[in-house]
Amino acid sequence: MKNNNRLIIVSYRLPFSFETASGSTTVKASAGGLVTAMKSLDFSEAREKPVWIGCADFSRRTWEKYQHLVNDDFEFVPVFLERKIQQNFYNGFSNSVLWPLFHYFPTYVDYQERDFVAYQKANETVSETVAAVVQPQDIVWVHDYHFMGLPKLIREKKPEATIGFFLHIPFPSYEILRILPYKVKEYLLTGLLGSDLIGFHTNDYNIHFLQSIQINLGVQHKIWKINYQDRLIQSDSFPVGINYSLYHDAYDNEDVIAEREALKNAYQDTKIIFSVDRLDYTKGVMQRLDALEAFFARYPEWIGRLTFILVVVPSRDEIQKYGERKVMIEQAVGRINGKYGTLIWRPIVYRYGSVPFPQLVALYTACDVALITPIRDGMNLVAKEFVATRKDHQGVLILSEMTGAANELSTALHINPMDENEVADKMKQALEMEPEEQARRIAIMQRRLKDYDVKKWANSFVESLLNMENTQHKDPTP
Ligand code: G6P
């Protein structure tokens, strides 16, 4: 898709960070899916390169001094929030209210008025930055739960702007949203209704959103179209994909081959079950460990013949619920290793830290089973990455039915993460599955992931945004 519009991306994180070691500063580009997606959009006919607006996790001074080191695919515009606002906006309202609530953890919600005020302030500040940058013919694409108020705030400043919003986490049932004070719900829902197009990962999330605006605001909708304040808004599902060829081709990468050989050597006497997640209570790591215990109790013939490699990547560690989770996981790992381990074998190999790309792909491709058990997950890209890497068509995916990805990954072994006996039984089924059956299941899922990759996702969202009737018939002057 080519077009002459300029793209303005807004996301909480900018796709790079500065690193200072032994007195010298370097830039580390993020390898995340969002950058790949945004780079894949063909805006080559636009007058200017795309703009990316996000919150700075560095100082103004660092930016002034080192911005020339950042790659120039985008024009980056960092927003510098006051420290206290930034904290209460990110750790507070975004990650201690919206995150737990939208993942169905209402008892983890810690609602503080000052955090909601900071969220509004941060959205207001970012909307001013967007309004100062946006020009006629630009399209603005806002990402994720940090900026649910933003579409409305931009619309108030630039009534004719073309605005898309995509939510990367689940949108919960209206019953869950009810827990929030009315003014908060109103702010979030009317905030989103400032968009021309609102995207979710799945149809269910879309339906939950439509029910929420109907019940809370009395706003009507018909077949994904919403009539609101004389504007037509569309809401739809766009399941995010991955950079399929990057993961698929990595199977033959030299570093990956070397890492894979090393792993296979190290674990030649056992089968391997692997999982990797950000440290988050939504990921169901404790339930996974309970299931492993249930597995050894039900199938003791596997004791000594299976290694579970558990990688947990640090995340949001200033928030109490995250710190607590780390302690819980580490205690459970110690307990299970103490209970079942022998002098020459440990059931769980635990790593707390991030793993470089070649090692990650080596783990994906050396394991026999990927065990992915979130209690809720908007999509879950780890499941998709695992499947994509298996050029050998081997390996079994066990996947929680509570993930957005379960809809697409239909030939995975689906489980309810709360049912430890079911997970244990599926682990046995996976470990004993015939190679032909593994290949059949992987091939079906790979076809889907290849066809609907991250580029397709980004392009279909932008195409829908540009095709909106109300955006086509607008006066081009914002
Ligand atoms: C989820 C969210 C993203 C977020 C990521 C990492 O995938 O949808 O918006 O960037 O988690 O979390 P963090 O808080 O470190 O940005």
Which ligand 1 atom lies nearest to the CA of residue 168?
8
Buried b (16+ CB within 10 A) or exposed e, 7-41: bbbbbbbbbbebeeeeeeeeeeeeeebbbbbbbbb
* pLDDT at residue 229 is higher than 70: yes
Residue nearest to atom 9 of ligand 1 (CA): 144
Burial class (CB in 10 A: 0-12, 13-18, 19+), 117: middle
Measured from CB, residues less than 6 Å from any atom of ligand 1 are 12-13, 144, 168-169, 315-316
Tally Cβ neighbours within 10 Å of residue 449: 22
Of 14, 168, 283, 382, the one to substitute when testing ligand 1's pocket (max ligand atoms within 8 A of C-beta) is 168
* pLDDT at residue 476 is higher than 50: no
**In angstroms, rounded to a whole number, what is the distance separating the alpha carbons of residues 242 and 452?**
8
Buried b (16+ CB within 10 A) or exposed e, 222-237: eebebeeeebebbbeb
Q: Are 66 and 26 in contact (CB under 8 A)?
A: no
166: β partners: 143, 199
Which carries the bigger pLDDT value, residue 42 or residue 359?
359
Q: Are 424 and 295 in contact (CB under 8 A)?
A: yes
Of 55, 169, 242, the one to substitute when testing ligand 1's pocket (max ligand atoms within 8 A of C-beta) is 169
ipTM for the complex? 0.98
In this prediction, residue 477 carries a pLDDT of 43
Kindly report, residue by residue over 407-461, the tens digit of the pLDDT.
Answer: 999 999 999 999 999 999 999 999 999 999 999 999 999 999 999 999 999 999 9
Tally Cβ neighbours within 10 Å of residue 474: 16
Q: What are the C-alpha distances in Å from 262 to residues 65, 237, 401?
A: 42, 41, 33
Residue nearest to atom 6 of ligand 1 (CA): 315
* pLDDT at residue 205 is higher than 70: yes
Q: How far is CA 455 from the centre of its chain?
A: 16
Q: Are 386 and 364 in contact (CB under 8 A)?
A: yes
315 Cα–ligand 1 center, Å: 9
Calculate the average pLDDT of the chain.
Answer: 95
Single-letter amino acid, residue 253 = N
Kindly report, residue by residue over 42-57, the tens digit of the pLDDT.
Answer: 776 777 899 999 999 9
Specify the pTM: 0.96
End-to-end C-alpha distance for the chain, whole angstroms: 24
2: β partners: 42
Averaged pLDDT, 343-358: 96
393 Cα–ligand 1 center, Å: 30
**In angstroms, rounded to a whole number, what is the distance separating the alpha carbons of residues 457 and 241?**
6
Kindly report, residue by residue over 106-147, the tens digit of the pLDDT.
Answer: 999 999 999 999 999 999 999 999 999 999 889 999 999 999
Residue nearest to atom 12 of ligand 1 (CA): 315
Q: Are 10 and 38 in contact (CB under 8 A)?
A: no
